[in-house]
A and B are shown apart, each in its own frame.
Chain A
């Protein structure tokens, strides 16, 4: 089996096959998704094309071009045709950014953080508070808000500034968390960060009295979105209508807009993470992860470097929080539960601790599994249940299948199983982290001395 796949990989990993496979997947995938917007297989084929772009050997310029075409033209157009796909991809982007941020803290610096969504919450609530009517409702009881209260910021385009404010506040929260836990390592650190995550969530839940800051469990809504230029929408609408087969609504344009925004954040996050990793700071983080005592003896200031890790990891989550609040126009404490932190952590571990492409793939796999595969499978089962179909040999009518066997109910179970299997067979993740190989003058290339 393993042999078969490695042979297959070797066979397609050379020109012209790599090009044929990649563009084939892209074109066939796009066509299939276009023709049958509800088919899971079609979407999966399309999603395989960026993976083949990453794994197969091709000219870098061609890769970049194909990636751009896919991200800027193909996905938005197909996304408008079936808006659900855009939602899937948006969520992948959101969680990929979170995973990238957490990867700095856990993967690079080795500080196990179980309360990471707290920073996401800080970003989300920052824009939720200022970008909604909440400030005029500070003294009203939750749920009894006057309908005609004004927005605090008349111009919703303050949003752009608040992305940066969200980054700053989340980074600040990261430092606040970092300060008391600096002396802790391993398990102790994990417990304290877990507590911190819960504190932020409980604060959001309870800060509706004495003054109503977060509107408690009901959450804050509506939250403003930045305005999109109507002239541009008109023009784009006219171009896109015949392609997607229906008039494009403003809501759909917003989905595309948030997709692009999330994509931009991902690109920036990847660049920042890579540059940090390959620098004095990133090396110091890795050194701390490997051996704290040796790191400090090399003159690395532990306090400063750990705080820097917490702050920069948190910053990513802060930016995504602001975008998330605007995208949903609604935030509530439920979104920021402990399980979310664990979810992001499992994306990082599944993808490969410390590996930037790994955690992105990890986020994509987990999101895709959660909101698409299992969901689709449930739908399929329930449609079987309503039919008269019978399983042939054992003569079992699908109709009699218990609703308890709905895969959507077993999401966490299946997910847990996947994690267990992964940790047994591929403990360093889907794409394990690799150190950069330097071109050293005078050094000969030698093949692995061990192995």
Chain B
């Protein structure tokens, strides 16, 4: 059974159909990408998956349970973590606190534990802090635990976002243009990191990405969207030679000339 399966998902904004009859399946343990020109509806599709938008029609099943109608926090609790296209960190919190916020659904401390500083509280906090520390190391953040997140350079902020998403122990992680604005070295590192997330942690990875080097390099399966619809799907090799994809990216005439 597929980990994530959407059937005929439609999302409209007024007269505009941003996502149209999207059928999408994702197997557990895959690294998959969604690509497409600007405005193709990729991010809208992500937002529909995570409950920020409610689809007008269609079904979304994750691990055999429907996600339609759930709030974003409930979706997160089911094991889907995400990052954002334009980094959304909690800027005036420290790096380690950002990661601890990501653990929100994992922590079990209750109001009474917090007010009376029970043993449960201290143990859980210490454990959470250790895990956060471990995640910082994992994504390659060093000596910045106590820095405010907004003070870190761009690449560092991207790493925090990924660590924060991993902190929730997700089954599936959605990365929205994770390498946007990175230089080739940073991109190389990022690709390695995504592979490790899947290989070492067993987390299924779904990317939205514009950088074709990244997409072709890492994806086991690529879905192409244009005008809200899925126009192609397949392995990198299949996508590279797909006529409709080339047209979508270059325009019909340019594609004919090419």
Contacts and interface: CB of A to CB of B under 8 A. Distances in A.
Interface stretch (B83-91, B226-234, B240-248): B83-91
Given A283-B97, A286-B93, A444 B143 contact: yes
A436 B145 CA distance: 11
A275 B164 CA distance: 23
A74 interface: no
Contacts of A293: 52, 84, 88
Contacts of B101: 283-284, 286-287, 295, 298, 300
A150 interface: no
Contacts of A418: none
A295 B76 CA distance: 10
Contacts of B151: 449-450
Contacts of B146: 435, 437-438, 440, 443
A297 interface: yes
A275 B50 contact: no
Interface residues of A, number: 34
B133 A294 contact: no
A157 B131 CA distance: 50
B96 A438 contact: yes
A147 interface: no
Contact of A281 (B52, B76, B111, B142): B111
B85 to A, nearest CB: 12
B110 to A, nearest CB: 9
B76 A299 contact: yes
Nearest to A451: B151
Interface in A227-286: 272, 275-276, 279-281, 283-284, 286
A435 B133 CA distance: 17
Contacts of B84: 293-294, 297
Interface string A290-306: 11011111111110000
Contacts of A281: 111, 114
Given A284-B101, A294-B88, A297-B84, 17 more contacts: A275-B117, A276-B115, A280-B109, A283-B101, A284-B104, A286-B92, A290-B91, A293-B52, A293-B84, A297-B73, A297-B82, A298-B73, A299-B73, A300-B73, A300-B104, A443-B146, A446-B143
Interface of B: 50, 52, 71-73, 76-77, 81-82, 84, 88-94, 96-97, 100-102, 104-105, 107, 109, 111, 114-115, 117, 121, 125, 129, 133, 142-148, 151-152, 164, 168
